[in-house]
């Protein structure tokens, strides 16, 4: 079989089974322009090794914490509701068919990509409920993607979040998976999996949180204002510690004289 046909067929299988688009990895200028380059899948590398390299674990002091819902983690999650991100950052939420792009923040386009196929996540989690790995994709990864969608971005206990999610489902421009609105934790989780610590999506969540607290300039005007503001601050005269110490001593001497 022709090598290109074989690669295309393999890419199609991986796309269906893992929801990962690995086609044209060797020549994808669009992904490179977006800062979304991926490890090359070389001919001699097995599929499971390639996927392992794609999804490396992270260890964040807050998001990866095993101590459940501590106050700092809870406060961070509260800031990442999609309703707040849309209000304060004017973000657009774009559905993605590639699980690698979940929570990928595109500052230039002011977009947040969300892997919306909750039905894929749920069915895979149910099918291998007693397994630590789901064939090629880690079970923990799928739990994190589902949890970050249903309990962080769109907490279904929040009426505003539910309305926003429903609009993304019903709007033909987005067409989010309707299963994203159905919270079925008990049917997909094993005992002890109800509280999720993030080891695959920790960096993405922290980046999103930091952006929510200190947004980067979007427009040309905002960038110019930030640059000029930084330049003016750097040009301000810095206090001389020696002169400040002499001033404090003089003021202290005058205060003692007045008291006498």
Q: How do the domains of the chain map onto residue ranges?
A: 3-54, 71-213, 231-259
Query: What is the token pair recorded at 131?
Result: 């397994």
pLDDT, mean of residues 58-71: 82
Confidence band, pLDDT 50/70/90 cuts, at residue 80: very high
- Distance, CA of 245 to chain centre: 48
**Do 113 and 94 meet the contact criterion of CB atoms below 8 Å apart?**
yes
Alpha-carbon span 21 to 13, nearest angstrom: 10
**Do 159 and 93 meet the contact criterion of CB atoms below 8 Å apart?**
no
> Above 70 in pLDDT, residue 187?
yes
- Average pLDDT for the chain: 80
Confidence band, pLDDT 50/70/90 cuts, at residue 69: low
DSSP assigned state of 55? S
Q: Rounded to a whole number, what is the distance in angstroms from the first to the last CA of the chain?
A: 102
* Percent of residues, the chain, with pLDDT higher than 70: 68
**Do 67 and 148 meet the contact criterion of CB atoms below 8 Å apart?**
no
**Do 126 and 187 meet the contact criterion of CB atoms below 8 Å apart?**
yes
**Do 183 and 176 meet the contact criterion of CB atoms below 8 Å apart?**
no
- Bridge pairing between strands 137-138 and 111-115: unpaired
> Above 80 in pLDDT, residue 138?
yes
Whether the full predicted model's pTM is greater than 0.85, yes or no, is: no
**Cα distances (angstroms) measured from residue 38 to each of 41, 54, 94, 236:** 9, 8, 20, 44
């Amino acid at each position: 079989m022709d090598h290109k046909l074989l690669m295309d067929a393999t890419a199609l299988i991986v796309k269906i089974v893992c929801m990962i688009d690995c086609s044209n990895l060797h020549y994808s200028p669009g992904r490179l322009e977006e800062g979304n380059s991926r490890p090359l899948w070389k001919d001699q590398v097995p599929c499971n090794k390639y996927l392992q390299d794609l999804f490396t674990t992270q260890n964040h002091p807050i998001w990866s914490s095993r101590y459940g819902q501590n106050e700092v983690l809870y406060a961070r999650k509260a800031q990442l509701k999609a309703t707040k991100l849309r209000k304060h950052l004017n973000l657009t939420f774009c559905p993605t068919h590639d699980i690698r792009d979940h929570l990928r923040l595109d500052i230039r386009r002011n977009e947040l990509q969300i892997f919306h196929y909750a039905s894929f996540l749920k069915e895979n989690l149910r099918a291998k409920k007693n397994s630590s790995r789901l064939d090629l994709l880690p079970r923990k990864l799928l739990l994190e993607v589902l949890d970050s969608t249903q309990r962080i971005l769109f907490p279904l206990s929040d009426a505003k979040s539910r309305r926003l999610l429903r609009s993304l489902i019903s709007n033909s421009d987005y067409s989010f998976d309707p299963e994203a609105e159905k919270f079925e934790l008990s049917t997909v989780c094993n005992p002890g999996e109800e509280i999720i610590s993030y080891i695959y999506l920790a960096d993405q969540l922290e980046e999103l949180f930091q952006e929510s607290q200190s947004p980067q300039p979007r427009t040309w005007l905002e960038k110019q204002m930030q640059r000029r503001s930084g330049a003016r601050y750097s040009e301000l005269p810095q206090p001389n510690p020696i002169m400040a110490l002499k001033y404090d001593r003089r003021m202290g001497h005058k205060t003692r004289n007045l008291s006498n």
